[in-house]
Chains A and B, each alone.
Chain A
Amino acid sequence: MICDEELCHQVQEGNEAAMEALVHRFHRPVFGYLFRHLENRSAAEDLTQETFARLLVRVHQYRFPQPFKPWLFTIAQNLYRDHCKAQANRSTVPVAEPISPAVPEPYDLSLRIAERIEVITAIRSLEAPQREVLLLRYYHDLKVDEIADVVGVPSGTIKSRLFGAMGKLRDLLGAEEGGHGREASGKGSRQ
């Protein structure tokens, strides 16, 4: 399989097939990242399109073979920040979609829904910088140094934010030292 970096270089040279491959590869992750930030499907779709549009407009700035994924998430991150500033200037509070978790198996529907709402609420309760780091580290598997590049702060700050986020989630979700916690559902949704 051609690596992301090689595909991006081919996009620099005007290869449309490479562009399509990159979009197929990263549409879901970028949308997921922005959706988890915005909690609004329509806004996440708009920003996802803007992210890929900006990728093409600025593709000449990409320098092979630097890692592509952090570079792409930096674009998404910057657009998200611009979006937040624009929202703040409009003085209208953006409307987050109500929590509507995917429907699980019917036999324990109410319990599963309650658990999912608990998780989403816990993540929403994190401060924005902590949530940003958590999303990139856990759901998108970026390394601490790569997150530092995306967010534009030192690695030490990223570790500190990650520590804060994990500590808060541990408290909110009731994970215990040496405990068994809730049984793993086996249906991870990392993307």
Chain B
Amino acid sequence: MAVKRPAREVANDLDNRIDAEVLSQVFDRLDDYAIPEPAPVDTDRLIAAIRPLMPPVARPASSRFRSYALERPGLPLWRALLPQMRLFHPAWWLGSLAVLMVGLLVAGPLAADGWPVSILAPALVIGGVAYSLRTLRGGGLEIELACPITPAQAILARMIVVLVYNTALGGICALAMPGPALALLLPWCASLTFFAGLTLALTTLTETTPAVALSLMVWGGLILLRATRLTLFATSVEGGGTLAQVGALVAGLALAAYALAGSRAMRLLGRGGL
């Protein structure tokens, strides 16, 4: 007796605790459970009844994004960035600036205790990634369907907004602080890039909120590990500190590349993570 496909599938579902052939016999019998079917006129009547509940015709977000990008000729990067910039509301720009202002206020006491200002960078960038990947109505469809760019490019554009803005904030910080600017800026950029890449990579593996929580845990862990001379957050470039910071920079870029490669960016879209 030929075993039908549904029987094999259900047998697999049940870890073959019931033989596929037996299931096939049961399914043959189940096919006898005939029921009445709605006539075409019933379907037409149903459509007429629910038509008033149709949502209003709206200019879809996808079209807005597409036209916004296409109406503004320029470099491809700029065309990718412009639509994404609209996602960042003033609250985010001002909020990040406020965090940095607080950081500057506490930088003096922190430095006196041997803590670098770059220790604040993860908070800014993790918040920035979470903000830029926040859920929008309709998930990430506006990107997938209509933008003249790929999903990975769109995500990358958002990351660029977050990183450039936070790097600029770090630059302000470096100018305001005493000492060589590079010694302040390198750990800041390393910290930003590493945590941006980490949060983005984690977001492709789990939901955005757990990814942010995990990144925060890593941040806390690195702060604790600083006591054992792990030098991502070192104040001095001596003793391999620079090497560790460059390593963090490269690791951040690698993690971001991992997140944006292949189908992972699409999975992020699929979960409505954008």
Contacts and interface: CB of A to CB of B under 8 A. Distances in A.
Given A19-B47, A56-B55, A116 B32 contact: yes
Contacts of A85: none
Given A20-B47, A49-B50, A173 B26 contact: yes
Contacts of A163: 14, 17-18
A36 interface: yes
B53 A57 contact: yes
A190 B138 CA distance: 32
A45 B37 contact: no
Contact of A11 (B31, B54, B139): B54
B113 interface: no
Interface in A52-83: 52-53, 56-57, 59-60, 63-66
A188 B31 contact: yes
Interface residues of B, number: 50
B173 to A, nearest CB: 39
* Interface size classification for chain A: 35 or more
Contacts of B17: 163
Interface stretch (B56-64, B104-112, B224-232): B56-64
B1 interface: yes
Contacts, number: 171
A190 B26 CA distance: 13
Nearest to B19: A177
A50 to B, nearest CB: 10
B26 A32 contact: no
A14 B32 contact: no
A166 B22 CA distance: 9
B26 A175 contact: yes
Interface in B147-183: none
B65 to A, nearest CB: 14
B35 interface: yes
A11 B57 CA distance: 9
Contacts of A127: none
Given A27-B42, A63-B272, A182-B28, A116 B34 contact: yes
A185 interface: yes
Given A175-B26, A182-B28, A12 B51 contact: no
A41 B273 CA distance: 41
A56 B47 CA distance: 11
B271 to A, nearest CB: 8
B23 interface: yes
A151 interface: no
Interface string B86-100: 000000000000000
B26 A28 contact: no
Interface string B203-222: 00000000000000000000
15 contacts: A9-B141, A11-B55, A31-B38, A32-B35, A48-B38, A52-B50, A53-B53, A119-B33, A137-B13, A167-B18, A170-B18, A170-B23, A176-B22, A181-B29, A182-B25
By Cβ-Cβ distance, the 7 closest A-B pairs, closest first, are A181-B25, A14-B57, A175-B25, A188-B31, A56-B53, A102-B34, A63-B272
Interface of A: 9, 11-16, 19-20, 23-24, 27-28, 31-32, 35-36, 41, 45, 48-49, 52-53, 56-57, 59-60, 63-66, 101-102, 112, 115-116, 118-120, 122-123, 137-139, 141, 144, 159, 162-163, 166-167, 169-170, 173, 175-185, 187-191
